[in-house]
Chains A and B, each alone.
Chain A
Amino acid sequence: MRFTLSEHDRAVLDAVAERLIPADDTGPGAREAKVVDYIERSLADGYEEHRDTYTAGLAALSREGFGELSPDGQDAILAELERQGDAFFELVRRHAIEGMFGDPAWGGNADRIGWDLLGYPGPRHVWTEAEQELEVEHRVEGHR
């Protein structure tokens, strides 16, 4: 079933995701990994039951002017939601992790940004005995 976030909600969600997993000196973050694409696609197909939570959660953030705040101001709001055990915060965090570190086929983890962050070389059907030794580095073929 077709579902898209409004342009405004999408921008707020993108800002949230980027504060959860920001671009910094360890590499690009959620924005470049297209985490919001993953979440929007999931809300359209698979996570239909979470649409209302997103709509309400993003509306609440908009009322606080989340999109216009400084990064520090945004972090303070997110930290407060986390402290309260807010269900929307936990849901977005979970979905952002999926969109950052899941298979790129689902719309996120663009250019394997999330996997590179972890040093994960990506799925393989076969791991050899030598590759399963400690300290062995797994190179990613044909990537970057």
Chain B
Amino acid sequence: MSVVALEAGPRRCPEEMTLDEIRNDVRNWLSEPKARAEVPTWRESSAEASSLAPWPMLTVNAVGGTTIHYDAVSPRLLPWNFASRSLTVERYGVGAVPRGSTLVDWPLSYDELEPYYDLVERAIGVGGTAAANPFEGPRSGEYPLGPLRRSGWNRWMHGAARDLGWHPYPAPTALNSEPYNGNPECTYCGFCASNGCYRAAKGSTDATVIRRAESTGRLTIEIGARVTRIEVDGEGRVTGVTYVSDGRELFQPAAALLLGTFVYENTRLLLLSTSTAYPHGLSNNHGQVGKHYMAHATPAVYGVFPGRRLNLWSGPWSQATCSDDWNGDNFDHTGLGFVGGGMLTAAHEAKPIALAGGPVPPGVPRFGSGWKSWLHANARSIGSAGAQLESLPYEQNVLDLDPAVVDPYGLPVVRVTHRVGESDRRGYAYLSHKLDLWLREAGASETWSADGIQLDPRHAYGGTRMGDDPDASVVDRVGFSHECPNLGVIGASTFPTTGGHNPTLTLQALAWRTAEHLVTNWSTIGSRV
């Protein structure tokens, strides 16, 4: 078998990764050349016109994709996440599932995915402490690396969580706490998110699995190859893809195709690829492509620790202390009016523009001497804690093609229709309260938050949901299309629910499983009948 990978972006290298907040975080240079020209548009309901999304939306185009700029926090989902509907109904009754929510169980269990979590943790080098999080599912192996070095802030917030009776643990991370597989250890520069690693100490796929795959000689990567359409034959099998390279339109034939282009682009390419066999878009004869879209809501609370030096501009984001005490169903939801929860995190990597541009406490002005003197007195002493709230799927939250906005190729961009559900709002308030408690327990004299619900749609999910029922999902339990036999889909677009953790490790484990299924069944999937 030989594999051709088409990548719209370039190859990046460690030498390009400078410590520059403006270039990395403010201007998102890694989103060139493609993502910036096709940013998904946003609206809250189907009655509205779409407009520029009020949230960070930009992904990365390069070999290695968004793992180049991710913060590498790599927890597994909880076993509960794989059966959250049935376990919620069992414990709280069917009324606990909000009206309009399309909450479902995953078509596979934690135990079925566990061996793939273990494989991925070893392949990219995830560090952590196996017994530290009592809520984590059973593990077949230890983490291959220890967690990142503990900082003063990490220990301080760990202690505060213990004092509250919680169960804090060091963030599992794909940053090397020591040299691993030929890559060096992290040096705690703190320019990790929105940037690649300047010394390849991050387990981004370009520095780990892709490099090893290329060394087999069986993987060819075409860079600058912008796929515009997936082509099928009269029977509805994928025959290859059309792509643009250096202004020329080319065709890459394929016996089988794995589509792994991030949540938004997975849906977009399927919807753009209409044909006689699939008049409403590839694998969309059941009308499921683009449905069940979700994005993490991300409550964050800031606190000031008067007179203290926290030194949070040192260290990467994933040098963090976490808690799953308020995640999944690890606490009694009776009377709370929401499903799930989220991991709480107290992290590093407080860069100066983000710090100065962040929200201010009530009574502090946002400009002028009053603001400036507040910053001067407190910037060293501001700590924060954040959470990733499990956000439920709802009937009305969908992706489709925007009839009004096109990219430079004249192709419609994705339009997000998303409104935060009442249940999610209650979960957001609940987690915000826990974050507040944590900071106050640690000694914050004052705490505050940004106004309103904050979303991070870079933690995006759904659009090609995984399931057993073709009327309610796009791909099956191994990630292959219900309709098109030689098409697999990779990414968080297949997640039936978000969970309350970072998505990447889980989508990598699922990707490994899908690829293994393809290899094992190549004679049937890849054969031309």
Contact = CB atoms under 8 A, between A and B. Distances in A.
A100 interface: yes
B352 A115 contact: yes
Interface string A91-123: 001100110111101100000001101111101
A98 B23 CA distance: 11
B interface bracket (residues with beta carbon within 8 Å of A):
35 or more
Contact of A82 (B19, B27, B366, B369): B366
B352 A101 contact: yes
A117 B357 contact: no
B198 interface: yes
Contact of A22 (B26, B149, B368, B379): B368
Contacts of A136: 152, 309, 311
Given A75-B368, A118-B379, A136-B311, A123 B19 contact: yes
Interface in B174-216: 187-191, 198
A94 B366 CA distance: 11
Interface-central residue, B22, B156, B191, B355, by most chain A CB under 10 Å: B22
B353 A120 contact: no
A20 interface: yes
Given A82-B367, A106-B22, A138 B311 contact: yes
A132 B347 CA distance: 13
A93 B26 contact: no
A94 to B, nearest CB: 7
A124 interface: yes
Contacts of B355: 101, 118, 120
Given A24-B373, A26-B376, A119-B379, A103 B368 contact: no
A27 B376 contact: yes
B82 to A, nearest CB: 37
Interface string A125-144: 11101011111111000000
Nearest to B374: A26
A50 B524 CA distance: 54
Nearest to A96: B367
Contacts of B191: 123
A10 interface: no
B21 A134 contact: no
Interface in A34-60: 46
A29 interface: yes
Interface string B344-377: 0000000011011100000000111100110110
A135 to B, nearest CB: 5
A21 B314 contact: no
B461 interface: no
A72 to B, nearest CB: 11
B426 to A, nearest CB: 27
A124 B369 contact: no
Contact of B368 (A20, A100, A133): A20
A127 B190 contact: yes
B134 to A, nearest CB: 27
Nearest to A106: B22
Interface residues of A, number: 44
B76 interface: no
B356 to A, nearest CB: 5
Contacts of A120: 313, 352, 355, 379
B381 to A, nearest CB: 9
A100 B353 CA distance: 8
A124 B22 CA distance: 16
A96 to B, nearest CB: 8
Interface string B484-502: 0000000000000000000
B356 A118 contact: yes
A84 to B, nearest CB: 14
Contact of A19 (B19, B308, B368, B376): B368
Contacts of B190: 127
B412 interface: no
A24 B152 contact: no
A17 B88 CA distance: 53
B373 A103 contact: no
Contacts of B42: none
Given A127-B315, A131-B311, A138-B311, A26 B379 contact: no
B126 to A, nearest CB: 22
Interface-central residue, B21, B187, B191, B369, by most chain A CB under 10 Å: B369
16 contacts: A21-B372, A26-B376, A27-B376, A78-B368, A93-B366, A98-B22, A100-B356, A101-B356, A118-B375, A120-B352, A125-B189, A127-B187, A127-B315, A132-B151, A132-B153, A138-B311
Interface of B: 19-23, 26-27, 149, 151-153, 156, 187-191, 198, 308-311, 313-315, 352-353, 355-357, 366-369, 372-373, 375-376, 379-380
